[in-house]
């Protein structure tokens, strides 16, 4: 028999529904509802929330209030407020708002990179270098995360070679990224490919490896989380009710549902600090606001098992 795997004692769920989720759907949530979402996610125990993206409002009117949401998130105790920034201009807005972390996405697929960001991957690496210089000159403590997306393949290009993913990850680190992460943007990954690529990425980035981001397009997001969890990865992006998609990936669904991921982790003894009944209540509220939009996830249908104990409540 193979040796038993030890899971990390704790893991962080970063809620990205307000960015990755809302950017892909038609409904534009009013700022007051987004603030209520952030407040109640914080009350339920979430301590990392990606509140939006500093992209021009004409491109993504759904996220036009990102500066206001960031200012609000900064008032909540213990909350790491992060934003996505597509370029230096966005990073300047993130620095002005004193974001705790800014994520610069890079597509390892050249075709997806050109379609989505209008830059080659290496041009994005160069932009990260300029963002690092701006951050250092600003005196802010805002962490810079370089997120390598389409890491397992891409709808436009097809195959994305692991060697290219790792080359770009190393280039981001060399250009000054404080953190790097891997994203299966279109749901092409499976647990075996996750194990292979994450093992190499962890060897390359060490302590600077930050986060796994899995879309549930083909139903494997939680299995992929588990495969990376077994390697010691302890931070995952997730979207409440699994909302989201990708404009360049037909049929793509959102990230792992936050509430299902919290259940997976807590049930397995991995503490998240999240109060699941509160998170499920928030899910009910947010899906009510998003009537008519596709939502995902399983836990909400049947609720928690009667035998469920949160990780913190387990005798250890
Ligand atoms: Zn995503």
pLDDT, one tens digit per residue, over 152-192 is 999 889 999 999 999 999 999 999 999 999 999 989 999 99
Q: Distance between terminal CA atoms of the chain?
A: 24
- CATH hierarchy code of domain 12-302: 3.20.20.70
Distance of CA 253 from the midpoint of ligand 1 (Å): 9
Ion ligand 1 residues within 5 Å by Cβ: 20
Q: Which range among 24-28, 162-166, 206-210, 277-281 shows the weakest confidence by mean pLDDT?
A: 24-28
Looking at 80, 154, 211, 246, which residue is catalytic?
246
Tokens 């994005």 correspond to 124
Distance of CA 260 from the midpoint of ligand 1 (Å): 17
Distance of CA 289 from the midpoint of ligand 1 (Å): 21
Q: pLDDT band at 109, cuts 50/70/90?
A: very high
pLDDT value, residue 4: 55
What are residue 57's DSSP bridge partners? none
39 or 294, greater pLDDT? 39
Per domain, the residue ranges of the chain are: 12-302
Q: pLDDT band at 198, cuts 50/70/90?
A: very high
Distance of CA 313 from the midpoint of ligand 1 (Å): 32
pLDDT value, residue 316: 45
Cβ neighbours, 10 Å, residue 25: 18
Distance of CA 112 from the midpoint of ligand 1 (Å): 13
pLDDT at 221 over 50: yes
Nearest CA to 157 out of 121, 202, 105 is that of 121
pLDDT at 223 over 90: yes
pLDDT value, residue 6: 86
Distance of CA 166 from the midpoint of ligand 1 (Å): 19
Q: Which two tokens stand for residue 188?
A: 């092409």
Residue 95 CA to chain centroid, in angstroms? 20
Q: Which range among 50-59, 69-78, 307-316 shows the weakest confidence by mean pLDDT?
A: 307-316
pLDDT value, residue 81: 98
pLDDT value, residue 253: 81
Alpha helices in the chain (DSSP H): 31-43, 66-73, 88-96, 110-117, 121-138, 162-175, 191-205, 221-229, 258-267, 276-289, 299-302
pLDDT value, residue 239: 97
Distance of CA 23 from the midpoint of ligand 1 (Å): 10
pLDDT tens per residue across span 123-133: 999 999 999 99
Q: Which range among 39-53, 248-262, 269-283 shows the weakest confidence by mean pLDDT?
A: 248-262
pLDDT tens per residue across span 28-65: 999 999 999 999 999 999 999 999 999 999 999 999 99
Query: What pTM did the predictor assign?
Result: 0.95
Q: Which range among 95-104, 205-214, 249-258 shows the weakest confidence by mean pLDDT?
A: 249-258
Distance of CA 4 from the midpoint of ligand 1 (Å): 31
Q: Which range among 13-17, 175-179, 191-195, 248-252 shows the weakest confidence by mean pLDDT?
A: 248-252
The yes-or-no answer on residue 246 being catalytic is yes
Confirm if 241 and 22 have CB atoms less than 8 A apart: no
pLDDT at 314 over 60: no
């Amino acid at each position: 028999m193979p040796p038993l795997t030890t899971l990390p004692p704790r893991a962080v769920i970063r809620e990205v529904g307000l960015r990755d989720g809302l950017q892909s759907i038609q409904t534009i949530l009013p700022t007051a509802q987004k603030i209520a979402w952030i407040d109640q996610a914080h009350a339920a125990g979430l301590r990392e929330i990606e509140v939006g993206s500093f992209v021009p409002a004409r491109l993504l009117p759904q996220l036009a209030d990102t500066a206001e949401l960031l200012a609000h998130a900064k008032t909540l105790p213990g909350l790491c407020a992060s934003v996505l920034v597509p370029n230096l201009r966005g990073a300047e807005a993130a620095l002005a708002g004193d974001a705790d972390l800014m994520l610069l996405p890079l597509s390892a697929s050249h075709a997806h990179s050109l379609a989505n960001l209008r830059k080659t991957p290496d041009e994005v690496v160069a932009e990260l270098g300029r963002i690092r210089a701006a951050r250092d000159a600003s005196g802010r403590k805002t962490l810079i995360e370089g997120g390598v997306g389409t890491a397992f393949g891409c709808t436009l290009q097809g195959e994305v070679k692991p060697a290219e993913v790792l080359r770009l990850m190393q280039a981001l680190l060399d250009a000054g990224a404080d953190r790097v992460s891997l994203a299966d943007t279109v749901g092409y990954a499976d647990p075996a490919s996750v194990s292979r690529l994450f093992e190499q990425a962890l060897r390359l980035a060490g302590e600077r490896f930050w986060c796994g981001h899995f879309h549930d397009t083909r139903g494997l997001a939680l299995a992929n989380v588990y495969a990376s969890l077994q390697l010691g990865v302890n931070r995952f992006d997730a979207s409440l009710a699994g909302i989201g998609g990708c404009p360049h990936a037909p049929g793509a669904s959102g990230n792992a549902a936050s509430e299902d991921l919290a259940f997976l982790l807590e049930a397995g003894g991995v503490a998240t600090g999240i109060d699941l009944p509160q998170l499920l209540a928030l899910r009910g509220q947010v899906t009510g606001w998003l009537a008519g939009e596709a939502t995902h996830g399983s836990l909400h249908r049947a609720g928690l098992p009667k035998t469920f104990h949160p990780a913190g409540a387990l005798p250890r």
